[in-house]
Amino acid sequence: MNSFENRRVLLVDDMPTIHADFRKILVPELGAASALEAAKAALFGDEITAAAQPFELDSAYQGQEGLARVVDALAQGRPYAVAFVDMRMPPGWDGVQTVERLWQADPRLQVVFCKPRWPRVPPS
């Protein structure tokens, strides 16, 4: 698979809200935006530009689940291009342990460590 064509992303994080945020950014709903672009093009005579190709985002809530997804993706011949991995995911593997195992399965996998925001310090 050409690395420029691979838009497969794996998110490994124990917080469902983080998964929702990544989904909003990487896999936006195109309906409203494309209708607005079409109306703008019709009104101003602009060309309709192609929408950016969304990413294919898969979720895992613990390191073990992330590893299973990577192994399955490799077996299907559809590896992930990148994995975003949280550093803390109690009660299972932490981010370092997770990435170590992900790289054992797929040494070509690009990884981004995500720093948790907790505990939050109230503003002074």
In the chain, the number of structural domains is: 1
- 116 has a pLDDT exceeding 70: no
Q: Note whether residue 123 is domain-resident.
A: no
Exposure of 86 by Cβ count < 10 A (0-12 exposed, 13-18 middle, 19+ buried)? buried
CA-based nearest residue to 114, from 91, 95, 99, 98: 95
67 within some domain: yes
Burial (CB < 10 A; 0-12, 13-18, 19+), residue 83, is buried
What's the CATH code of the domain at 106? Answer: 3.40.50.2300
64 to 11, 81, 121: CA distances (angstroms): 13, 19, 31
The whole-number pLDDT of residue 2 equals: 46
Structural domain includes residue 75 = yes
Which pLDDT belongs to residue 59?
A: 97
33: domain range?
8-114
Say what the pTM is: 0.76
